[in-house]
Structure 1
Amino acid sequence: MIFAHPDILWFLLLVPLLGAWRWWRSRNEAGLRFSDVGPARTASPSWRVRLRVVPDLLKLAALAIGIVALARPQERDVVRTRNAEGIDIMLVLDTSTSMRAEDFRPNRFEAARDVASEFIDGRVSDRVGLVVFAAKAYTQAPLTLDYDFLQEMLDEVRVGVIQDGTAIGTALAMAVNRLKRTEAESKVVILLTDGQNNRGEIDPITASEVAQAMDVRVYAIGVGSKGTAPFIIDQPFVGQQRQMLPVEIDEDMLRTVAQNTGGRYFRATSKRALRDIYDEIGELEKSEIDERIYTDVEERYPTFLIPAFGLLLLGTLLQSTALRRFP
Structure 2
Amino acid sequence: MLEFEALWVLLLLPLPLLWLLLPAQPVASLTRLKVPLAVVHQADDDNPAVARRRLPAWLKWLGWALLLAALARPVWVGDPVSLPDSRREMMLILDLSGSMQETDMEYGGRPSDRLTAAKGVLFDFIKARQGDRLGLILFADHAYVQAPLSYDLDTIATLMSEAELGLVGNRTAIGEAIALATKQLVGRKSQKKVAVLLTDGRNTAGGIEPDDAIAAAREKGVTFYAIGFGSDYQIKRTPLGNIKVPNGDPPDEAQLARLADATGGRFFRAKDADQLEDIYKELNQLEPLEDNTQTLRPRTDIFYWPLALLLLLSVALALWRTR
TM-score by structure 1 length? 0.59
1:253 is paired with a residue whose SS is helix
- In the TM superposition, what are the counterparts of 1:106-255 in structure 2 within 5 Å? 106-226=112-232, 228-230=233-235, 244=245, 245-255=247-257
SS at match of 2:228: strand
> Where does structure 1 lack aligned partners over 5 or more consecutive residues?
1-78, 233-240, 293-327
- The 1:158/1:183 distance shift into structure 2, 3 A limit, reads same
Identity of aligned residues (%): 38
> Is the counterpart of residue 276 in structure 1 residue 278 in structure 2?
yes
Match of 1:125, SS state, is coil
Whose radius of gyration is greater, 1 or 2? 1
Query: d(CA) in 1 for partners of 2:127 and 2:97?
Result: 25
**CA drift at 1:287:** 2.5
Deviation at 1:83, TM superposition (A): 7.4
Asked whether the 8 Å contact 2:88–2:191 carries over to 1, the reply is yes
Distance verdict in 2 for CA 1:210–1:243, change over 3 Å: same
2:86/2:293 contact within 8 Å kept: no
Contact 1:229 1:247 in 2 (8 A): no
Q: 1:132 to 1:289 in 2, by over 3 A?
A: same
Q: 1:60-107: CA deviations, max 9, x gaps?
A: xxxxxxxxxxxxxxxxxxx99887433100011000110011111211
Q: Which runs of 5+ in 2 are unaligned?
A: 1-79, 107-111, 295-323
Cα distance in structure 2, aligned partners of 1:163 and 1:222? 20
Distance of 1:172 and 1:80 partners within structure 2: 37
Separation of aligned partners in 1, 2:274 and 2:184: 30
Q: How high is the TM-score relative to the length of structure 2?
A: 0.59
SS of corresponding position for 1:263: coil
* Separation of aligned partners in 2, 1:92 and 1:108: 15
Pair 1:231–1:208, CA change in 2 (3 A): farther
Hey, what does 1:91 align to over in structure 2? 92
Aligned length: 207
The residue type equivalent to 1:198 in the other structure is T
Measured in 1, the distance between the counterparts of 2:283 and 2:98 equals 26
C-alpha distance in 2 between matches for 1:149 and 1:225: 30
SS at match of 2:202: coil
Letter in 2 for 1:194: D
Name the Cα RMSD after superposition.
Answer: 2.6
Shift of residue 242 of structure 1? 9.9
Tell me the distance in 2 between the aligned counterparts of 1:111 and 1:81: 33
Q: Which residue of 2 aligns with 1:103?
A: 104
Contact 1:84-1:287 within 8 A present in 2 as well = no
Amino acid at match of 1:156: E
One-letter identity of the residue aligned with 1:129 = G
In 2, Cα distance between the equivalents of 1:167 and 1:209?
A: 16
Structure showing greater relative contact order (alpha-carbon pairs closer than 8 Å, 6 or more residues apart): 1
The residue aligned with 1:266 is 268
Cα deviation, 1:117-162, whole Å, max 9, x if unaligned, reads 1011001211100000111111110001011111221122101122
Distance 1:167 1:231, change over 3 A: farther
